[in-house]
Structure 1
Amino acid sequence: MWFILVAAALIIGYAVLKYVRQQQYLKTLTSEQFREGYRKAQLIDVREPNEFKGGHILGARNIPVTQLKQRLQEIRPDKPVYLYCQNAARSTRAANILHKKGYKHLHQLQGGFKKWDGKIKKG
């Protein structure tokens, strides 16, 4: 029984530590904050191409998280990167990948595209 409690405590501790570390390099922004800064940054939609074609934030480039490691040369490390996906799970994964590769100014849209209330483009 104690083994299960220790294992659960370790898993919870690891998750909390990972979350705290992530907050140091990834800023989660509201739609308003995101809108204020993304025009001066690289706006990357990390969803799959079919999702992107269904509608995306005006000015975004589609680099799916599944292709990110192979397409890193398309993202400049010296400029801020604004990421979004459908609900913020994949953009978090993308930020982790970019952080490990040395990218520093990483931002994600709180709640993802489904919470976006700004201009969009279809197609």
Structure 2
Amino acid sequence: MEWIIIAAIVLFFAWRLMPAKGIRTVDADGLKEMLGDKDKQFIDVRTPAEYKGRHIKEFKNIPLNTLQAKQASLDKSKEAVVICQSGMRSAQAARLLKKAGFDRVTNVRGGMGAWNG
């Protein structure tokens, strides 16, 4: 019986870590190639304190807890590239944007923790 519970927990976390359908993922090296692209909007969903401590200049800070209210200020015709500290909050943000009708959404895998630029 214990192994069923363990398997269920493992499957749950594996499911949570998988990108949602239609959401691309990119690593830090792939992100470097995207920066400067005017057809993309870069969104950092960390807290203002995290953003102030260290950020990538192309990214606009829209904390995850305010993203739904502020999504109208974003351009649905541009690709949304989302980052956080580790990739977990940005995965949530990417799913939220996808459900809101954004066609092109990319999550930065590993987030700022993987960034060395």
Judge same fold: TM > 0.5, yes or no. Answer: yes
What is the deviation of 1:29? Answer: 0.8
- Amino acid in structure 1 at the alignment position of 2:52: K
What value does the CA root-mean-square deviation take over the aligned residues?
Answer: 2.6
CA deviations 1:72-111 (Å, max 9, x no partner) are 1121111011110000010000011101101121112121
The code of the aligned residue for 2:97 comes to L
What is the match of residue 58 of structure 1? 57
Distance change (3 Å), C-alpha of 1:82 and 1:38: farther
Provide structure 1 residue ranges, at least 5 long, that are not aligned to the other structure: 119-123
CA distance in 1, matches of 2:17, 2:47: 26
**Unmatched segments (≥5 aa) in structure 2:** none
2:32 aligns to what SS in structure 1?
A: helix
Q: Does residue 84 of structure 2 align to residue 85 of structure 1?
A: yes
- Do the aligned residues in 2 keep the contact of 1:87 with 1:111 (CA within 8 Å)? yes
Q: TM-score, normalised by structure 1?
A: 0.79
Distance 2:96 2:72 in 1: 13
Structure-2 separation of matches of 1:110 and 1:73? 25
Contact conserved, 1:38 with 1:82, CA < 8 A, in 2?
no
Identity %: 31
Which deviations, in whole Å up to 9, do the C-alpha atoms of 1:49-86 show, x marking residues without a partner?
01111010122100001000110112111101111000
Give the letter for the 1:67 counterpart: T
Residue identity opposite 1:30 in structure 2: D
What corresponds to 1:36 in structure 2? 33
May I ask how many residue pairs the two structures share in their alignment?
Answer: 115
The structure 1 residue matched to 2:22, chosen from 17, 22, 25, is: 25
8 Å Cα contact 2:35/2:58 also seen in 1: no
Moved over 2 A (4+): 11-20
Please state whether the residue corresponding to 1:56 is helix, strand or coil. coil
